Amino acid sequence: GAGVSQSPSNKVTEKGKDVELRCDPISGHTALYWYRQSLGQGLEFLIYFQGNSAPDKSGLPSDRFSAERTGGSVSTLTIQRTQQEDSAVYLCASSLVISGSPSTDTQYFGPGTRLTVL
Amino acid sequence: AQTVTQSQPEMSVQEAETVTLSCTYDTSESDYYLFWYKQPPSRQMILVIRQEAYKQQNATENRFSVNFQKAAKSFSLKISDSQLGDAAMYFCAYRVNSGYALNFGKGTSLLVTP
């Protein structure tokens, strides 16, 4: 079946503009995750959704970052008033929580959105 | 703080040879899962292998195997019979049983030469 998809693949924006990044998880996956990968770094966890709820938003770096998930499927990560330090690859992952605990389930990643803030 | 250390920023291996990528981690939890992900230039993170911390037997997946030393908090990846398609960034990660976020190292860039 289809994997995790993300759009756009690349986004260039000007400092101060708002951007929206989209993630389509694997069909039937109830858990969805956003990560950020800055140049030369590993992945940094941002937020986790179980269904439409986000039990933990503590990874979001500032109040300019928000995310929502509708219908237990598509998720949008919004960055308001973008700054140059927001430039990174934003990766989305999903997993099928079959055991009641997301920690036992493998996360499958999308190809990411490369965000460049000029 | 929970951290993952990959001490080799870059590694090189000849085709058909064997290479080992190292990883150490630090967590106070006793139940967790360990992963190696591969990230080719396409950016997509691909799961290579997974290890449950409660299992003593090292995981294997075809040419990929791990050496898991729980007491030392070490989780190295061995790639046998290296192929050109193995060239990529390799990330070590873990997730505690009580959580959901993957904690990643900074990665090791693997170059495979003919």
Q: What is the pLDDT of residues B54-74, one digit of tens each?
A: 888 999 999 999 999 999 999
Using the Cβ of A110 and the Cβ atoms of chain B, whether some distance falls under 8 Å is answered with: yes
Closest CA to B47 of B30, B61, B67, B63: B61
Q: What is the pLDDT of residues A59-97, one digit of tens each?
A: 999 999 999 998 889 999 999 999 999 999 999 999 987
Estimate to the nearest angstrom the gap between the alpha carbon of B91 and the chain centroid.
6
* B1 pLDDT more than 60: no
Which residues from A are below 8 Å from B42, CB to CB?
A: 111
Using the Cβ of B98 and the Cβ atoms of chain A, whether some distance falls under 8 Å is answered with: yes
B8 within 8 A of B68, measured Cβ to Cβ: no
Optimal mutation site among A35, A38, A39, A43, interface B, most CBs of chain B within 10 A: A43
Return the pLDDT at B113. 96
Residue the block writes with tokens 């997301």? A102
Return the pLDDT at A102. 52
Nearest CB to A109 within list B4, B45, B103: B45
* Partner-chain contact A43 B102, CB within 8 Å: yes
* Partner-chain contact B45 A40, CB within 8 Å: no
Residue B100 pLDDT class (50, 70, 90 cuts): confident
Residue B81 pLDDT class (50, 70, 90 cuts): very high
Using the Cβ of A96 and the Cβ atoms of chain B, whether some distance falls under 8 Å is answered with: no
- A30 vs B36, higher pLDDT: B36
Q: How far is CA A54 from CA A33, A65, A70, B7, in A?
A: 10, 13, 11, 34
Across the range B24-42, mean pLDDT stands at 92
Distance CA A55, CA A103 (A): 14
* A116 pLDDT more than 60: yes
